[in-house]
């Protein structure tokens, strides 16, 4: 059901971390994704979810740039599947639910944003190799350009960008079987959310509404990630009601909205709160992986000093 969706995200997370040469246990992966579900549920556009997951993955398993790459590629896979479903949703929505102009417009807008995100991830794979630190130095004012601190910052940032790009490439090249498995986990993630209301209607004695409810859930799931309010509050319920008044009898819509919000929102809060307490307990015990330092390649402070600097110190 809806509250179990992070379980499939945990399976996908472990797969992508392994492709980067790291290891993360299943329970740790669950703590990461459930905490991300909690922070995503209380922040606009669910932006806090991916940020928290990237940070926790950094603390538990991978260097910073690689952790961001894992979360970005996982989100990209989910968005690709969502985009592939949009033509089906629009077709079935127009035929079965008779969606109005406003809902169709929101679906088109959501698709456009999703396409931009996927293009950005693909561009990170095929962008020309450029020395980012040199670009930053050329753009900086003369006085800032001569600053040792700024030079260290630009070199470190350039190394992080290269690490992110290389990490994405490693995961893309992890083999067709593993890529297919990542997509299967993502499909299970979406299906476990789509199936909630159809099963509820089936239990209430409305088996004939199963297919329509499934289409309705697909419409709602496509729209929700782009609702700007924290947890999609207010607008999410309004969108759900606008869709499901075309699916179920009007006297059931309120009950269905409550059930849907419980599995989609409140269960994430409950399980995410438990996961957050477990994460905080891990942090209180000390370092949660062998080292919390970044690789030496991006540690500018370890670079040898220029001869002129050494002479000045003498």
Domain boundaries, the chain: 2-110+175-289
Alpha-helix residue ranges (DSSP H) falling in the chain = 5-19, 26-41, 47-60, 64-92, 101-126, 132-139, 142-145, 148-172, 176-194, 196-203, 210-223, 235-244, 250-261, 267-284, 307-313
- The pLDDT assigned to 314 comes to 43
Q: How far is 63 from 297, CA to CA, in rounded Å?
A: 12
Q: What is the pLDDT along the chain (314 residues), one digit of tens a residue?
A: 556 788 999 999 999 999 998 999 999 999 999 999 999 888 887 778 899 999 999 999 899 899 999 999 998 898 888 888 877 777 776 666 677 777 777 778 878 888 888 888 777 666 544 555 566 666 777 777 778 887 788 777 778 888 888 898 899 888 899 999 999 999 999 898 889 999 999 999 999 899 889 888 888 887 777 777 776 777 778 888 888 988 889 899 999 999 998 988 888 889 999 999 999 999 998 767 644 444 433 343 433 344 444 444 44
Q: Is 270 exposed, middle or buried (0-12, 13-18, 19+ CB in 10 A)?
A: middle
Using only C-alpha atoms, the chain has a radius of gyration, in whole angstroms, of: 23
Q: How far is 297 from 23, CA to CA, in rounded Å?
A: 21
Q: How far is 107 from 215, CA to CA, in rounded Å?
A: 13
- Are the beta carbons of 195 and 1 closer than 8 angstroms? yes
């Amino acid at each position: 059901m809806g509250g179990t969706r992070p379980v499939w995200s945990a399976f996908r997370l472990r797969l992508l971390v392994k492709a980067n040469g790291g290891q993360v246990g299943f329970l740790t992966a669950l703590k990461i994704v459930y905490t991300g579900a909690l922070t995503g549920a209380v922040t606009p556009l669910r932006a806090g979810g991916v940020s928290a997951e990237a940070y926790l993955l950094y603390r538990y398993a991978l260097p910073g740039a690689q952790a961001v790459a894992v979360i970005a590629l996982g989100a990209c896979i989910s968005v690709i599947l969502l985009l592939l479903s949009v033509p089906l949703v629009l077709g079935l929505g127009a035929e079965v639910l008779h969606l109005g102009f406003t809902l169709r417009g929101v679906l088109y807008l959501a698709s456009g944003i999703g396409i931009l995100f996927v293009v950005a991830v693909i561009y990170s794979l095929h962008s020309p190799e450029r020395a980012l630190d040199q670009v930053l130095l050329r753009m900086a004012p003369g006085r800032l350009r001569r600053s040792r601190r700024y030079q260290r910052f630009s070199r470190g940032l350039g190394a992080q960008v290269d690490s992110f790009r290389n990490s994405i490439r490693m995961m893309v090249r992890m083999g067709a079987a593993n890529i297919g498995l990542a997509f299967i986990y993502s499909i299970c993630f979406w299906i476990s959310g789509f199936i909630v209301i159809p099963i509820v209607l089936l239990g209430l004695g409305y088996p004939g509404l199963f297919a329509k409810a499934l289409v309705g859930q697909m419409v709602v799931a496509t729209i929700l990630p782009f609702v700007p309010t924290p947890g999609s509050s207010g607008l999410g319920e309004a969108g759900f009601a606008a869709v499901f008044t075309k699916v179920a009898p009007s006297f059931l819509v309120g009950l269905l909205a409550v059930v849907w919000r419980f599995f989609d929102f409140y269960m994430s809060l409950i399980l995410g709160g438990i996961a957050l307490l477990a994460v905080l307990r891990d942090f209180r015990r000390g370092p949660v992986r062998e080292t919390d330092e970044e690789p030496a390649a991006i540690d500018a402070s370890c670079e040898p000093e220029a001869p002129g600097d050494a002479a000045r110190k003498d």
